[in-house]
Amino acid sequence: MSASEAGVLLKIVVFYNGDFGQRLVGNLLNYSGFCISCGEACNQCRSGKYSAAEDIVALVEMPDPDTLGDFIDDVEPLLPRVPPADIAVMVNVHPDILFGMLPLMKEAGIQGIVGGSERPKEMPLGLRKQVEEKAAELGMEAMFAKPFCALRPDPSKPKISAFLEKAMIGDPVIEMVMQKGRKGKDSILAANVVRSAPCGSTWFVAKRMVGLEPDQPDLRERVSEAHHAYPCTASMERDMEIGDTILHKAGYIIRDSVEDAIRSARRADE
């Protein structure tokens, strides 16, 4: 499936545990009342823009990995039923259970497996590579990122790329419109979300950018404030793989996305 085919129905199953999993599901469904970050200032900026409600065939809540120990001797009793689907999204699933699920996902017709890490001990690099290699052996695509908002469409994985495009999630992409503001200085007239972080925070950050000047000294701080206020649920524990906290990494990703949007912004007054 190419990105141009992303409009067709994609059957999605989500296996999840924890707050981030619930937030990702809420963002995919985009139901009324999911995002409450703006409070009374809400202008329904997300309403009608997208929804995976018709695509999701099952939401499967998984055991908390922290209650299962590092290694599971007998994983069979913990393996869930895998319904027929195209894409499986994995959020905070114990690695032994995930490995045990791979043959079941193949039998269920899963073509792409998507996941990520929001905590240092969750899906480390070596494990992510092992899952991707085993999935490839079984004829499935797999893509994992740390954090989840680092997921980026990859031409070598067309099925997953089509899912990310249709669901509008992954590495954030924003489109901006500029106009002349006070004293002839540019200001951000509009900030439209093309692809949001899986948690949905990009919509809130984009809204907070409207009215700001792209060259104002505290722009990065304003992006960071919005990102924290949503709030981002990534860990503040230092991660040895990335040499920083995962929350900070997520903050750099949205900051870069805003700065990319400013550089490529179109003008309303030309």
Mean per-residue pLDDT for 199-204?
96
Residues 155 and 188 in one domain: no
- b/e string for 148-173 if b means 16 or more Cβ within 10 A? bbbbebeeebbbbbbbbbbbbbbbbb
> According to the model, what pLDDT value does residue 25 have?
95
Residues 44 and 147 in one domain: yes
Domain boundary among the residues 141, 167, 193 is at 167
pTM exceeding 0.85: yes
Residues 24 and 85 in one domain: yes
> According to the model, what pLDDT value does residue 4 have?
38
Q: 137 pLDDT exceeds 70? A: yes
Angle at 64 between CA 253 and CA 81, to 5 degrees: 100
At 19-77, the pLDDT tens digits run 999 999 999 999 988 888 888 888 888 888 889 999 999 999 999 999 998 899 999 99
At 78-127, the pLDDT tens digits run 999 999 999 999 999 999 999 999 999 999 999 999 998 999 988 888 88
Q: Which two tokens stand for residue 167?
A: 């669901």
Domain boundary among the residues 140, 167, 194 is at 167
| CATH number for the domain that contains residue 129 | 3.40.50
Residues 243 and 195 in one domain: yes
Residue with tokens 């959020």: 91
**How many domains does the chain contain in total?**
2
Q: Which two tokens stand for residue 70?
A: 């590092």
Nearest to 84 by CA among 28, 9, 31: 9
Average pLDDT of the chain? 92
At 172-190, the pLDDT tens digits run 999 999 998 777 789 999 9
Residues 100 and 212 in one domain: no
Residues 151 and 184 in one domain: no
To the nearest whole percent, how much of the chain has pLDDT over 90? 80
Q: Which domain holds residue 58?
A: 3-167
